[in-house]
Structure 1
């Protein structure tokens, strides 16, 4: 459940990563394949996998048998890159960590569109008495501030390490024993989205999982995606997941994250979800503009999404997710027509330069 890390001021090129000139000038599919392999070598992940879809007609598509196989499985425009390493496969279920936040934000914005809540509502209006103490005051915090990480609330996972299962109210009570950061300043906190999960339950009478299943998973037929609650095992098929020390952490109680990072999903489902969301299938144009508005967070974050401006000038939108044994990243063009998801089966990538280079290889035009 990481703090989103932007690339706005980081010029990235494949050459900086030590790739040969031939690779850096290759067809995008070739360059991206090389980078997926680097996730397991320089990135020190046991295994990595990536799935991209581009319906613009201008992105990377492999040739020959790989292209034919990808189209037969996922439809025209789908690029399936080779997995690197062993232990995971394309169809595996995995934990998506903070990518859960995009689903939660979508449900909140749908409820706002239905006039069942307002983004200017205070936390106190929906959860009276819960946020109070050590300088924290739910009367001064709006739902907008939770969505954009500008509430100043302390991140409860700084206390649990993301490894101790807690209930939503326990998570909040842990957080409010610490004074808040400056309100109005962007400060990423998992506590914000745990509170939004409680707001969904208060407004609808259903859990955030039930509402997300009804509003998102079922309409989009995301059959590989679930909110496991307290279930510690992954659905089949799945590979193994490893902590940075090499220990097997495949079985995990998702209550370590709750509404901030509980989701289990697949590469295919994440590509489909972000494409549908940015393509306007889940929110009207008005509410999608709200979601993409980063002014409240001073350019760092919208609502469950954040932008990254690549060296070529293209801006992609999406989220990353880190939970014990899994790191995931999805990025897409603002229209949702070109989307990429990659994952590794460990908690982090050893070389942080690989992620921006991979995004540039996929979304920036090939240079000769």
Structure 2
């Protein structure tokens, strides 16, 4: 899972775009989804011929564009299911804040408060780590402890994390491991499995019917097939080694969530509504979710709870992206201004000698963000 500080400068207005290679068996685009002809033309001009994916763009609570590109070839659309990778972290962060609003924990709690209650022996060097530090990647824990698909249980992950060497400083160091530990905390504090808590307390209230690991009733023909840089099929995310209840714990909580562009728009609306109908978090927790707490090294961006931040021409922007060896996704929303939100996802991010869609991210984002900011 990776997140690039370079995009912070690009997220001038943030959009949702999609660039991937979905298989032809994915279903057809719903006829009523909005397609902005200028966005469609921009994507055709900017993207190379070959990759396919889905793009969603919205202003405020109005969906402006939600469609695939090269859809005649691939059939990708607003309801195609993709792995959103490290964008999963914002769901984990929201789950922690939901539990805080419910009085089950505080972000100032020490990790040992929750893991120790589950019987783990927390060594002295890790007893002072707080949930806030896990959320902001300032715990000193390493980025990860193994392959995403290694069959690691919850207990094994916790044991390995507690034995891991900490970095000598507690500055920002991106840690997938930290977010997997947060998923374990969610389970302890809620008394529910991680995905079940997200489904009942976040996704269902937000109207997100096609987001999760294994709980949604997936139409497998709607799940995008991923391709590597040589064009070889890697299957769908569900074809990789998983436990019966979702990914193994090197991935759980920090990545691997499946979702659609339509559900991403629903999530954006839920975060805009506070604790009202269709909302998911009270205002106090929303302020925490969208507060930059720590500077990211090597740039002007900051990191909060599952979101990165940048000051742009249209105001403060929150964003995150994710990637693996085959796919790439990016999501962002303005905190102030016109409420522009963007999301793009591709399940063929790379093709040797022909394209690397990460390198086009700035061009695509600038163009679509500028269009959305001018659109009346």
Alignment partners' CA distance in 2, 1:320 and 1:131: 34
- 1:185 is matched with 171
Alignment partners' CA distance in 1, 2:9 and 2:57: 25
Segments of 5+ residues of structure 2 without an aligned counterpart are: 13-35
- 2:42 is matched with 34
2:39 corresponds to 1:55 = no
2:334 corresponds to 1:333 = yes
Moved over 6 A (4+): none
- 2:199 is matched with 213
Matched length: 323
Give, in angstroms, the shift of residue 352 of structure 1.
3.3
Aligned match for 2:367, one of 353, 361, 364: 361
For residues 201 and 97 of structure 1, do their structure 2 counterparts lie closer, same or farther at Cα, with a shift above 3 Å needed? same
Equivalence map 1:85-100=2 (5 Å):
86-90=73-77, 91-100=79-88
Aligned-residue CA RMSD (Å):
3.1
State the TM-score, normalized to the length of structure 2: 0.75
Alignment partners' CA distance in 1, 2:225 and 2:280: 33
| Matched residue SS, 1:34 | helix
2:136 corresponds to 1:143 = no
Alignment partners' CA distance in 1, 2:180 and 2:307: 16
Give, in angstroms, the shift of residue 31 of structure 1.
5.9
2:100 corresponds to 1:112 = yes
For residues 240 and 366 of structure 1, do their structure 2 counterparts lie closer, same or farther at Cα, with a shift above 3 Å needed? same
For residues 131 and 10 of structure 1, do their structure 2 counterparts lie closer, same or farther at Cα, with a shift above 3 Å needed? farther
| Matched residue SS, 2:86 | helix
Equivalence map 1:239-258=2 (5 Å):
239-249=224-234, 250=236, 251-252=239-240, 253=242, 254-255=247-248, 257-258=251-252
| Matched residue SS, 1:197 | helix
Give, in angstroms, the shift of residue 327 of structure 1.
1.6
Segments of 5+ residues of structure 1 without an aligned counterpart are: 13-27, 57-75
Give, in angstroms, the shift of residue 246 of structure 1.
2.7
State the TM-score, normalized to the length of structure 1: 0.77
- 1:319 is matched with 320
Equivalence map 1:210-359=2 (5 Å):
210-228=196-214, 235-249=220-234, 250=236, 251-252=239-240, 253=242, 254-255=247-248, 257-280=251-274, 281-297=279-295, 299-310=301-312, 312-334=313-335, 337-346=339-348, 350-359=356-365
| Matched residue SS, 1:286 | helix
Contact 1:48–1:88 under 8 Å retained in 2: no
